[in-house]
Amino acid sequence: MRKRITCFISAVVFLCATLMGRIGYIVFGGEYTVSQGYNSYSLTACEIPTTLYYSDMGKINNNKTVYLAVIRPNEKCIGELYSLFDYQKRNDIIEKLKKGYPIIEKLDTDTPSSLKYIKIIKATEEKSTDMQIINKESSGLLYYVKNKNGKIKVNFSVDARGRLLEGDDGTVIYDDYSATSGLKLTINKKIQTIAQNSAKSINNGCVIIMNTEDSSILACVNKPSDSYVNKALSQYAVGSIFKLVVAACAIENNVFLQYNCNGKIKVGDTEFSCQGKKAHKNQGLKDALANSCNCYFVNLALTLGQDKLLKTANEFGFSDNTTLYGDWNVKNASLPNKSNLASKGQLALFGFGQGKFTATPLQMCNVLCTIANGGTYNKTKLVSSIVDDRKKQTEIKYQKEKRILTKSQAKRLIGYMRYVVTDGTGANAETYRHKSAGKTATAQTGQYNFGIEKLNTWFAGIYPYDNPKYAIIIMTENGISGSSDCCPVFRTIVENLDDM
């Protein structure tokens, strides 16, 4: 027993001695006199990425102030930690200081108190936006923009043995830190704010607003905002909003069917049905689009055939990649191939946007732009110009547009989309003052939660319908219906756009 006690006491004494030695190292390790020959130790306080600008040249990032504490490993600096950090943070800092070198810590306060020994640096917050299409952490634009816009360094003098010299609290060096060079984006600050505020009812999903004239992105919101997933650029089952492309194919090929819907249709051994097996009776393309009649579009897809449908889908850009900047390429969709569509069942599913087919919300928004501007396909744009240190702008040239529908064909389809809102499934998007056109979707995902299938719900709309300026996509994950989930969000957006 006595031996155990002796061993225990010896261990405690050893630990205490070790601890005192470490504390002595921290407290006195940096207190040396200036020697004749010495070098310097450089510590990078922060770097700022390329500055990104809204379309009105207001800053998107690099627009918030942060304060940094330069803490040296000596007793005077350690004594001042109590006025800056809580207990746990102080212990973490002291542990870092045991290495014998100064460190830099971000302060939580906006108004740091004046200190005698800890140097406070005013800097720019590197992450100053929660836009996933921008953030580096969510593989947004800043992930692909490699160059930095300057840095702040703190230089310390050290002796020949690499020890900090007494009395040197560090020299702050601003290395091209005030640079203004960067990229001007197509995102409109006011419209982005409207989209963010309107999307508050969405738990999981996204909102995209684009300029119909040139397919430039005016706003992009991902929910939840702290997610690292760029949902606007991710592929989803799109369901009935793809009926717009099938309808465009029919109009382009002058195929206008009358079909008597009894609520279900059998293709081979597979039966397809309308929602709730509702019988829509005899109808043409306009009524079928307004009613979102699956049976009609199954029959239409089988009539058009895979070649015509794939040709139209390719013209709308579904087989392309969207290059948003540099080597940032986004795959627009995963189309079923001809081998898949040789199956009449898969061709039937393709007719109403299901089966082996997914697309990004961004691509579906570009489809709206093509229809809304009179049938001209443009590549999606996010970056409009390069900005130099004097804020001189060099416009980025994009691939020339191509016409895929005649103006009269596009106008007819817009008229059908208007009918969806006035007399069909999109009625919840309509207001007395704001006239729009669009298409709803409630897409099956094949994923189940407690036996209930998860649904992606959509509204794809253009506004105003008689002279479309805006293409708007609203998508929610695990929703109920496009009409109940997405149309109210669309309605709020257009009401605010009109008042802008």
Superfamily of domain 186-498: DD-peptidase/beta-lactamase superfamily (3.40.710.10)
The three-point CA angle 493-209-125 to 5° equals 100
Whether pLDDT at 11 is above 60: no
Instruction: Answer with the residue of higher pLDDT: 168 or 353.
Output: 353
Residue 483 confidence (pLDDT) = 96
**Burial zone of 408 (CB within 10 Å; 0-12 exposed, 13-18 middle, 19+ buried):** exposed
Write the class of the CATH domain 35-184: alpha beta
pLDDT tens-digit series, residues 129-159: 678 899 888 889 999 998 778 889 999 988 8
Could you tell me the residue ranges of all domains in the chain?
A: 35-184, 186-498
Query: What is the per-residue pLDDT for 127?
Result: 65
User: In the prediction, which pLDDT does 16 show?
Assistant: 44
The candidate with the shortest Cα–Cα distance to 221, out of 241, 191, 186, is 191
Q: Is 80 exceeded by the pLDDT of residue 359?
A: yes
- Rounded Cα gap, residues 239 and 395, in angstroms: 37
Q: In which band, very low, low, confident or very high, does the pLDDT at 48 lie, cut at 50, 70 and 90?
A: confident
User: What value does the mean pLDDT of the chain take?
Assistant: 89
Give the mean pLDDT of 347-368. 98
For the cut 80, the answer to whether the pLDDT of residue 447 exceeds it is yes
pLDDT band of residue 20 (cuts 50, 70, 90) is very low
Higher pLDDT, 153 or 225: 153
Helix (H) or strand (E) holding 40: strand 39-49
Model confidence at 358: pLDDT above 90: yes
Give the integer Cα–Cα distance in Å for 366 and 241. 12
